[in-house]
Chain A
Amino acid sequence: MSLVRGAAGAAAGQRVDFDRSRARTDATLWLLQRASAFVLAVCVVVHLATIFYAVRSGLTAAAIVARIHASIAWPAFYAVFVVAAAVHAPIGLRAIAAEWMGFQGRRADLAAVVVGVALLALGLRAIWGLAA
C-alpha cells in the first residue's frame, strides 16, 4: 500500500492522502462484479430456459443427470456459472459486511476470498458429482 501525496493539495492544506493500490483493488473488484453479473445473467437465462424445455418434454431428473453425465458441454457450462457466482457474490457480500459489520480494507478482502473459495469448492464439487 503506497500513500500518495499531492504537492498542490498539500500546499493548499487539503487532506491529500489516498491509497492508489486500494483504489485499484476496489475499482477492479467493482468491474469484476459487473462482468460476473453479466455472465450470471446469461447463465441464469440459459439454465431456466433449459429446465423449462426439459420439463415440458417430460424428462425425469434421472434422465437429466444421465444426459449431463454424458456431455462435456453441460458440466463446462455449469463450471462457468459456478465461477461467475464465486466471483460475484463475495464482492457484493463484502460491501454489505463493510456497511453493516464495519469490515474494512484487507479484512473485508480476506472474508470475501474465504466466501469465494467456499462457493467455488461447493459448486465445483456438485458439478464433479454429476459429471464424473
Chain B
Amino acid sequence: MTAGTAQAGDPHRERRPETAQLASSSIDVDVWRGVADGRFVRYRVPREASQTVLDVVTWIQRNLDPTLAYRYACRVGMCGSCAMTVNGVARWTCRTHVDRVAAGARLELRPLSNLPVIRDLVCDMRGFFDKWAAARGRLVPTATRNDPMARVLPASRERRAADAAIECIGCGVCHASCDIVAWRPDYLGPAALNRAWTLVNDVRDGGNRARLAAVAGDAGCHACHSQASCTERCPKHLAPTASIAGLKRAVSRALLKGEL
C-alpha cells in the first residue's frame, strides 16, 4: 500500500518514469469528515503514476490524519468494500485511477449515497445486505449431500442468465446510484434483485415461490423504471436493469399461472 507515498527512497520510484509527465505534482482532495452533519476537509496529496483513488485516501490516512475512517480489503476489485462517491459518482476506489476522474487536479470524496453514514467515508451496509435477505438472495437447496452433483449445462438458458448476473461483488455502487432507492427507502434495489435473479435461474434452488412473491411489488422489481443508472455504474459491468426486467417477466408468468 505504498503506491501513494512520495517519500524519498521509495523503491518503486525508478520503475515509474511516467511520474515526470504528470500534469501536476499534487492534487487537492476534499474529503467528507464526520457523520451526516459533517463537512469537507481539504488535503493536498502528491500525485503518482497509476495512482488510484484508494491510494489517495490511504496516503491521507497514513501521512496527514490517522483518524480518517474508510474501508478496503482486497485492493484488486474483488471484495466490494472500497466504494465511495468520487466527484459525485459512486465508484470502486481501488480500481479507479485518479487520472480518469480528477477534473482539474481536484477530487471530492464522500461516502456512498442512500446508506447511513457511520463516519467519514464509511457507511452502514446493514440495510443494503438486509435487502438481499429480504429478496431471498440465499440458495434454498433441494438436494442433500447423498444426492449426486447437479448437472447444469453451461449452454442452458438458465445457466447463461445466471452467469450474466453472478459476478456481483456487493459493492453497493448500483444501490447508491439508483434514484428509486432514494425515493422509496423500502425498495429492495438493484443489487438484491440482481442476486434474486441469479437464484431464479438456479435449477438447484427450490425457493422460487417465496422468492418471486418477495421480489414482486412496489418495494420490489415493479418499482424499477429501467433507467439503468445501476447498469451504467456497476464496476463489474453487470446489468441489474436486465435482471430486474427478467424478474418482472418471471413474476408476471407466475401471476398468470396462479402461482404468485
Docked complex Cα distance between A83 and B186 (Å): 32
Given contacts A22-B217, A98-B184, A98-B218, are A30 and B133 in contact (CB under 8 A)? Answer: no
Residue in B closest to A20 when the chains form the complex, CB atoms: B213
Is A9 within 8 A of B130, CB to CB?
Answer: no
Docked complex Cα distance between A9 and B180 (Å): 26
B203 is an interface residue with CB less than 8 A from chain A: no
Q: How large is the interface on A (under 10, 10 to 19, 20 to 34, 35 or more residues)?
A: 20 to 34
Is B207 within 8 A of A30, CB to CB?
Answer: no
Is A24 within 8 A of B255, CB to CB?
Answer: yes
Interface of chain A, main secondary structure: helix
Of A16, A19, A20, A27, the contact of B222 (CB 8 Å cutoff): A27
Is B133 within 8 A of A15, CB to CB?
Answer: yes
Chain A 13-52 interface 0/1 with B at a Cβ cutoff of 8 Å (1 = within): 0111011101111111111000000000000000000000
B89 is an interface residue with CB less than 8 A from chain A: no
Is A18 within 8 A of B252, CB to CB?
Answer: no
A-side contacts of B222, CB under 8 Å: 26-27, 29-30
Is A20 within 8 A of B260, CB to CB?
Answer: yes
Docked complex Cα distance between A24 and B138 (Å): 22
How many chain-B residues does the 8 Å CB contact rule pick out?
27
Residue in A closest to B214 when the chains form the complex, CB atoms: A18
Of A14, A28, A30, the contact of B248 (CB 8 Å cutoff): A30
Of B180, B210, B255, the contact of A28 (CB 8 Å cutoff): B255
Closest chain-B Cβ to A18's Cβ sits at a distance in Å of 5
B152 is an interface residue with CB less than 8 A from chain A: no
Docked complex Cα distance between A28 and B212 (Å): 14
B168 is an interface residue with CB less than 8 A from chain A: no
Is B252 within 8 A of A24, CB to CB?
Answer: no
B242 is an interface residue with CB less than 8 A from chain A: no
Residue in A closest to B136 when the chains form the complex, CB atoms: A9
Given contacts A14-B138, A99-B183, are A27 and B207 in contact (CB under 8 A)? Answer: no
Given contacts A18-B213, A20-B213, A99-B183, are A27 and B134 in contact (CB under 8 A)? Answer: no
Is A99 within 8 A of B130, CB to CB?
Answer: no
Docked complex Cα distance between A18 and B89 (Å): 33
B220 is an interface residue with CB less than 8 A from chain A: yes
Closest chain-A Cβ to B256's Cβ sits at a distance in Å of 8
Closest chain-A Cβ to B136's Cβ sits at a distance in Å of 7
Pairs across A and B, CB under 8 Å, 25 listed: A8-B140, A9-B136, A9-B138, A12-B138, A14-B133, A14-B134, A14-B136, A15-B130, A19-B217, A20-B213, A23-B220, A24-B255, A25-B217, A26-B218, A26-B222, A27-B216, A27-B217, A27-B255, A27-B260, A31-B256, A95-B225, A98-B218, A99-B183, A99-B184, A100-B183
Return the 8 tightest CB-CB contacts between A and B, nearest first.
A26-B217, A14-B133, A23-B216, A99-B183, A23-B217, A18-B214, A23-B213, A30-B222
Residues of B within 8 A of A (CB): 130, 133-134, 136, 138, 140, 180, 183-184, 207, 210, 212-214, 216-218, 220, 222-223, 225, 248, 251-252, 255-256, 260
19 other A-B residue contacts (CB within 8 Å) besides A20-B213, A23-B214, A95-B225: A4-B210, A8-B207, A9-B133, A9-B136, A9-B210, A12-B138, A14-B133, A18-B213, A18-B214, A20-B260, A23-B212, A23-B217, A23-B260, A24-B216, A24-B260, A26-B216, A29-B222, A30-B222, A30-B248
